[in-house]
Amino acid sequence: MAWLETLYLNPFVLFTFVLARVSGIVTTAPIFTGDHIPVRVRAMLAVSLALLLTPLQWGKPIAQLENLPDYAILMAGELLIGVVLGLGVMILMSGLQLAGQVIAQMSGMALADVLSPGTDAEVPLFSNMLYMVAMAVFVVIGGHRVLLDALLHTFVSLPIGHGPATESLGQLVVTLMSASFALGIRAAAPAMVALLLATLVLGLVGRTLPQLNILVLGFGVNSLVTMGALIVSIGAIAWLFQDYFEPTLQAAISALTASVAPSLSSSP
């Protein structure tokens, strides 16, 4: 009966490895995360994708499992591959939320907090708006399909049972955080410059006409300037996020395969 046990055990083990890798990206990637998608739906999506991908891996050699600790280590490695791909995009999108927080602080509208559907936390209104813009761009450019395509390519560069190159993951985190911060500053730059100029003008007006209540006048002016700057620059912010998206995935895949992650700070 040993042959019968091997016949059924090997496909099951292979399926669990594929499911772990798929689950990592389903639980961390944009669109799939958040309370707006029930856990059961995400679980069914992960299982369905794993059932579709498992037959493609039949016949390929996998590491021999001697005990449960070895199995758990390999499962953790497969899960980490999917998590790195999904978190790479989420870290990039958090840069636009940072831009919204900077704009809200400078405009004096930081008290207008709303619940972010992506992070399940209270964030400024501008952060939520820019996050939704990034999500819309992600869907329009087919980011979910690009993520799944990147996941499929990992099965070629990182076969089942071969964990990621953990040595380069630390550098990947630094690279992604730098890119996210650069994206946030570049996205918030038009509104920041406009608010700085508005503050200088209000200061000159306050010197010229001291009888005016600059505090009351300044809040309304800052609100109008902020909205105007965002209306003018919202298209550029969308293009900027699109330009950073592909290098982010390339950096994540390169780090997983122990290649040198490309620098994102020089992205257009």
Choice among 14-18, 50-54, 215-219 with the minimum mean pLDDT:
215-219
Write out pLDDT tens, residues 77-130: 888 888 888 888 888 888 888 888 888 888 777 666 655 555 556 677 888 888
Amino acid 15: pLDDT: 85
Burial class (CB in 10 A: 0-12, 13-18, 19+), 39: exposed
**What are the φ and ψ backbone dihedral angles of 64, each rounded to 5 degrees?**
-75, 135
Average pLDDT over residues 245-249: 86
Q: Which of 28, 43, 18 is nearest to 252 (CA)?
A: 28
Query: What is the reported pTM?
Result: 0.77
Average pLDDT over residues 254-267: 53
**What are the φ and ψ backbone dihedral angles of 150, each rounded to 5 degrees?**
-65, -35
Instruction: Pull the structure tokens for residue 244.
Output: 């950073």
Amino acid 53: pLDDT: 86
Asked whether the beta carbons of 65 and 217 are under 8 A apart, the reply is: no
Q: Give the three-class secondary structure for 124.
A: strand
Say whether pLDDT at 212 is over 80.
Answer: no
Q: Give the three-class secondary structure for 123.
A: strand
Q: Give the three-class secondary structure for 113.
A: strand
Instruction: Pull the structure tokens for residue 111.
Output: 């008290």
Amino acid in the structure at residue 119:
T
Say whether pLDDT at 266 is over 50.
Answer: no
> With bands split at pLDDT 50, 70 and 90, how would you rate the model's confidence at 5?
very low
Average pLDDT over residues 24-36: 79
